[in-house]
Amino acid sequence: MSERISTHEVLNQPTLFENVNLFTSDVVLRDAVAREGGGHAARDLDSFGALCGSAEALEHGRLANEFSPQLVTHDVQGRRADVVQFHPAYHACMAASMNAGLHSSAWWRLAEAEAEKKKGASVARAAALYMATQMEPGHVCPLTMTNAAVPLLLKLPQFAKTWLPKVLARSYDPRFLPMDEKSSVTFGMGMTEKQGGTDVRSNTTRAVPGGPEGSYLITGHKWFLSAPMSDAFFVLAQAPGGLSCFFMPRFLPDGGTNAIYLQRLKNKLGNRANASAESEFNGACAWLVGQEGRGVAAIIDMVTWTRLDCSVSSAGLMRSALAHAIHHCKGRRVFGKFLIDQPLMRHVLADIALDVEAATQLAFQLARTFDEDDASSEAWRRLMTPVTKYWVCKIAPRAAYEAMECFGGNGYTESFPLARIYREAPVNSIWEGSGNVMALDVVRVFEREPPAAHLVLEGLARAAGGSSACRAVHQRIEVILRDPSNIEAAARELAEQIALLAASVLLRQNSPARISDAFVRTRLSVSPRQTYGQGLEAEEVKALLERATPVGH
């Protein structure tokens, strides 16, 4: 005898946030894509946005994190295997994103048939990345690394001829096989070591010339090997002429496996769908990129592209957290009103939305400069890459936390996506150059490339017009720059002030006046705040929520 026992009826629970087109429902994203030159891709982005926001894709994202990758160091007979096994949901995310071109679409112009897609390619890719991050952020790592690897691969014409077509292919092939047996390939990167971390010039891994087919033999280790199941890596090692950059494939030209040994996977706070490995090289074959002793200069092209992606994906995480919070508040009643109608909750959500819009505009303005080669774009790219990464990636965890709090206790549980978003949020600020590294890079631009840095600053000052608040920020930046004895200690303030000035200018140019005025007043003109939900006027709250609320939901 079985009888279903019911103690209560489930009431006042919002619907699930799923089957939402992440492109058409996002006003700020659509505006950014059209404005920055990616409008030609609107139809593809519409389709990809529907895919990323589907119930199936979001479930793939959950499962890919629930069942994290596993390292297999040896096969059943005791031979070295050095492979990472992923849940099928991870492979589903990878297949969807590679079909959309996230791993290489910025470079499709290199294929003759795709030449017409050059304009706005990086902006269109950024939009897809922004949405793929909302589907599942961990799998973005190998996509980012592969896209960023192309400039280095082009410096190796003997390999680019055969590898580049596999990079540009719109397919996903996870098999552990030599490159010529696969339909597509991905790339990873290995820079840091136990003793040095960011200080890569202290690396002890050695590269000795004299390997087969013009290669070097590399012996040593990497404390973080990104995307260890990639088909090849760009790594740093000490050659006779100093720290150098090398191309290291998983398989040798004769089809044998290279001497790359995965020791263990990192047990990370977040980013759990993606594998990061500690590795050792025991005479691994690798080919020099550029000149000996110029390793950092060679690999910086790759790093610059990864920093763009960090900014875009952090903005995407912020958007995801905000969209989930707004959806929840529209469907949950408290004290006789929907949460979205409670004045203080509206204030909090609108305040988060203000940062999301600013972060998105900074990220997409930066993406546009990767498609253009004029002096202004090059200057913006050089200065604003570290500035944008610094500020956008720094504010993402705070925004994610406040969005999580909108759910109450449920937001802190793994049943809801906000906990996963919150654990993911810090990673982009730490990887590819932490906050201090980015701030010091900003200082370095002013010291080594002052014409480029001041071209950007002067342009921002002109664009700020008569805004007294923007003028005050610009003056503060000039004060910092006039004190070289203290500029390193003030590097974070310098980076943040430039970010706030640039965000203010972009919002004044591109957003409704109520939104840009609110940003200038609450971020530039008042005493520093520690929490969201302060300083906005009622009409500003209304305007922000109208733009931030997912269209149709």
Q: What are phi and psi of 402, to 5 degrees?
A: -65, -40
Q: Which of 16-25, 52-61, 190-199, 314-323 has the lowest mean pLDDT?
A: 190-199
CA dist 250 and 285 (Å) reads 9
Q: What pLDDT sits at residue 466?
A: 86
What's residue 116's pLDDT?
52
pLDDT band at 332; cut points 50, 70, 90: very high
What is the percent of the chain with per-residue pLDDT over 90, rounded to a whole number?
Answer: 94
Helix (H) / strand (E) containing 26: none
The answer to whether the beta carbons of residues 442 and 386 sit under 8 Å apart is: yes
- 41 dihedral zone (left: phi>0; alpha: psi -120 to 50; beta): alpha
pLDDT in tens, 370-399: 999 999 999 999 999 999 999 999 999 999
- Mean pLDDT, the chain, rounded, equals 95
Tell me: pLDDT of 261 over 90.
yes
pLDDT band at 118 (very low <50, low <70, confident <90, very high): low
* pLDDT tens, residue by residue, 520-547: 999 998 777 788 999 999 999 999 999 9
| Mean per-residue pLDDT, 490-502 | 97
pLDDT average, residue stretch 27-55: 97
**Measured distance CA(401)–CA(531) in Å, rounded:** 10
Q: Which residue has the tokens 């706005």?
A: 120
Residue 529, pLDDT score? 77
Pairing label, strands 333-334, 337-338: antiparallel
State residue 277's pLDDT score: 98
pLDDT at position 113: 55
| CA angle 277–281–284, rounded 5-degree value | 125
Alpha-carbon span 323 to 330, nearest angstrom: 11
What pLDDT band is residue 465 in, cutting at 50, 70 and 90? confident
Strand partners, 225: 190, 277
Picking from 364, 308, 315, 355, the residue whose alpha carbon sits closest to that of residue 34 is 364
pLDDT score for 119: 82
Model pTM score: 0.96
Residue 476 has pLDDT above 60, yes or no: yes
Q: What is the pLDDT of residues 151-170, one digit of tens each?
A: 999 999 999 999 999 999 99
At 3, the pLDDT band (50, 70, 90 cuts) reads: low
Q: Which two tokens stand for residue 422?
A: 């919150």
Residue 323 is predicted with a pLDDT of 98
Average pLDDT rounded to a whole number, residues 433-442: 96
> Is 553 a residue whose pLDDT tops 80?
no
